[in-house]
Structure 1
């Protein structure tokens, strides 16, 4: 079976919008901090990306991210190893419109994206790697289709912006598989789903009268 892996840049407060450049995605009221990852990239952070792209993969993209990538990577040159990879692999695209997918090896997922991806996951082939695509991620979260998260967390707070765990988030436990920190302050952490959330209590076995009154006041 194929896995769906979300590999995402996020700020410490969970924003993933426009990490690469000011013009990348200013939507949603004029996002002002596009390009927020730029000054954190160094040799160690680049090596972390190499780890992400080291295994065979196909790309899984929402339409907005697809358009950003299609306007960049085919023109980046053959001396850019990421461009060579992205131009070669199959691109599966969640798109509602009829605009052609002109980037080579691009395929539309059709009108029912969760169903199409459920079938793709049953088949043989490399993992499906999500880049960007915050809207698509919300759909996949709602349907429980993401098998692994590799998150590069950058040491800054962006406030408003599109978030990795946004409106599609369903409560669930995660298991940390591996983590690594870099001199720039960036942390890379990989998580897999780990079932339902388990709760417990540190409250006194016999709650005090003050605690009982406090609980009553919350009703």
Structure 2
């Protein structure tokens, strides 16, 4: 069965975006170092990426305005907007947990949860994420959009792996 993997970066103090929704701080400690980290290896194991509208717009307008970086994947964008789909981008109005349950039953490789917090938090609450791949960026923002929000329930995980590159610590956890 397909795994649901949260692959995301956060600041040392737990934010996935600054207070204005920006992610220009997503880099390691040495701006000159060109290290892609684990992305290339990770993306080979997935064929589906799920994100919310704000993440989609940010990728389209800021992070990769010229080309869709997930061309090789089927992208699901959760939104209530009536957008026209393309061959590999599907706009759906389903709740995140319903969409993930449906996708998990379909054949294919693993499923990547890309962002944002309104997509991620319900999946965490319902314990639907099989693997957490969190890259901790050496930056303290102090304010912004929290990855875990106001989490009040205990969820125990097992540390599977750690990697470090350019001051970034990637932590890989699975459910216990």
TM-score (structure 2 length as normaliser):
0.85
Among 113, 130, 147, the alignment partner of 1:147 is: 130
Partner of 1:187: 169
Matched residue of 2:120: which SS? helix
* Higher strand content, 1 or 2: 2
Tell whether the 8 Å contact from 2:11 to 2:139 is kept in structure 1 after alignment: yes
- The equivalences for 1:1-219 within 5 A come to 1-17=1-17, 26-27=20-21, 34-38=23-27, 40=29, 42-44=33-35, 46-71=36-61, 73=64, 75-76=66-67, 83=69, 86-98=70-82, 100-102=83-85, 104-167=87-150, 170-182=153-165, 184-194=166-176
CA RMSD of aligned residues (A): 2.4
Matched residue of 1:170: which SS? coil
Q: Residues 169 and 148 (structure 1 numbering): CA distance in 2 closer, same or farther, change over 3 Å?
A: farther
Structure 2: distance between partners of 1:124 and 1:180: 30
Q: Residues 39 and 101 (structure 1 numbering): CA distance in 2 closer, same or farther, change over 3 Å?
A: farther
- Identify unmatched segments of 5+ residues in structure 2: none
Q: Residues 149 and 169 (structure 1 numbering): CA distance in 2 closer, same or farther, change over 3 Å?
A: farther
Structure 2: distance between partners of 1:171 and 1:26: 29
1:176-208 Cα distance to aligned partner (Å, 9 max, x none): 1110112x21111110111xxxxxxxxxxxxxx
Higher Cα radius of gyration: 1
Where relative contact order (Cα < 8 A, 6+ residues apart) is larger, the structure is 2
